[in-house]
Amino acid sequence: MDTLKGKNALVTGSSSGIGKAIALLFAKEGANVIVTYHSGKERADEVVKEISQYGVKTKAYGVDVAAEADVKKLFAMVDEEFGDLNILVNNAGINGSGIPVEDMSTEIWDRVIKTNLYGPFFCSREYLQYKKKYKTYKGSRIINVTSIHEYVNVPGNANYNASKSGMRNFAYTMALELASREMTVNNIAPGMILTPINEKVIDDPKKLQAADDIIPFHRGGDPMEVAQVALFLASDASSYVSGSTYTVDGCLSILGPNA
Ligand code: NAD
């Protein structure tokens, strides 16, 4: 129960889905959790209420991770309220567009790249300023929730695929930059997880069945199954693990090309 006792963790996009599961599990394991959301303050407040039951400190902040000034403001407020941070989970993200490149507007390209790639850059940079200020690199963590589209491509998803594969080298570069200080940076690559981001599939029994038929486990994942991997990567148990991607997909991404 005390795996993360006394640690301060900021989880972006923790009002919903995978981020919410990570926030709840970290709190259950003793971490003080900073919840962030983009829209839907009520859902974030609900998460804060649930977290409070574990007797840890928590607060929700609204932020657009794609907006540099917003992110700077968030980290300044968190510093004032919580002091040093030990764990950053870059989880906030939005889906691709389903539009092929030849028809993709710059606006649609930008929206996904700004949220999924600039967002983690802005948050990681601010977080690393904390490390510089508090001189607490060793044992600190960056965990990025990417996707199997870090390395699996599907047509009509160029903005999403590019954002998530960009996260791969972004994370691995940070891992190298921080290695001598024993601060770790790792990615989690989920397959199909049952969260609101997939509501078009989940809410349509035919589409859900078709997806389940393809996934070797014959089901989508539960957000808590991703959170458990995040807990390992946040904990002292992963002290020598950095620059890695942990895939959580019920074998989906290792299917051959004729699946
Ligand atoms: P979700 O829609 O349930 O949650 C997304 C969260 O991100 C919400 O809290 C939302 O408020 C926040 N968010 C969105 N845009 C934001 C912005 N501009 N600024 C700040 N916060 C913002 O989705 P989810 O499935 O929990 O997705 C979480 C992460 O997991 C995403 O990065 C997504 O790409 C990744 N992922 C999800 C799946 C899946 O099948 N669910 C698969 C692979 C990867």
Q: Quick one: three-class SS letters along 150-182? A: HCCCCCCCHHHHHHHHHHHHHHHHHHHHHHHHC
| 26 phi/psi in degrees, rounded to 5 | -60, -40
Question: Which of 91, 143, 159, 197 should be mutated for ligand 1, with most atoms under 8 A from CB?
Answer: 197
Annotated catalytic residue 160: yes
Q: Is the CB of 250 under 6 A from ligand 1?
A: no
User: Which residues make Cβ contacts (< 8 Å) with residue 83, sequence separation at least 6?
Assistant: 8, 134
Q: Provide the edge-to-edge strand list for the sheet that holds 8-11.
A: 58-62, 32-37, 8-11, 87-90, 141-145, 184-190, 244-248
Rounded to whole angstroms, the Cα distance separating 27 from 3 reads 10
Q: Is the CB of 93 under 6 A from ligand 1?
A: yes
Q: Looking up tokens 């003080």, which residue turns up?
A: 32
**pLDDT for res 97:** 83
Cβ(212)–Cβ(119) below 8 Å = no
Q: Name the DSSP class of 220.
A: P
Instruction: Specify the amino acid at residue 164.
Output: K
**pLDDT for res 257:** 60
Q: Is the CB of 16 under 6 A from ligand 1?
A: yes
Rounded to whole angstroms, the Cα distance separating 36 from 20 reads 10
Rounded to whole angstroms, the Cα distance separating 159 from 94 reads 10
**pLDDT for res 220:** 98
Q: Name the DSSP class of 8.
A: E
Rounded to whole angstroms, the Cα distance separating 216 from 218 reads 5
**pLDDT for res 1:** 78
Instruction: Specify the amino acid at residue 5.
Output: K
Cα-to-centroid distance, 192 and ligand 1 (Å): 12
Cα-to-centroid distance, 135 and ligand 1 (Å): 31
Mean pLDDT in order along the chain per 10 residues (259 residues): 96 98 98 97 98 98 98 98 98 94 97 98 97 97 98 94 98 98 98 95 96 97 98 98 98 80
Q: Is the CB of 47 under 6 A from ligand 1?
A: no
**3-class SS shares of the chain: helix, strand, coil, % to 5:** 50, 15, 35
Cα-to-centroid distance, 212 and ligand 1 (Å): 21
Rounded to whole angstroms, the Cα distance separating 136 from 204 reads 47
**pLDDT for res 195:** 97
Q: Is the CB of 160 under 6 A from ligand 1?
A: no
Cα-to-centroid distance, 108 and ligand 1 (Å): 17
Instruction: Specify the amino acid at residue 171.
Output: A
**pLDDT for res 27:** 98
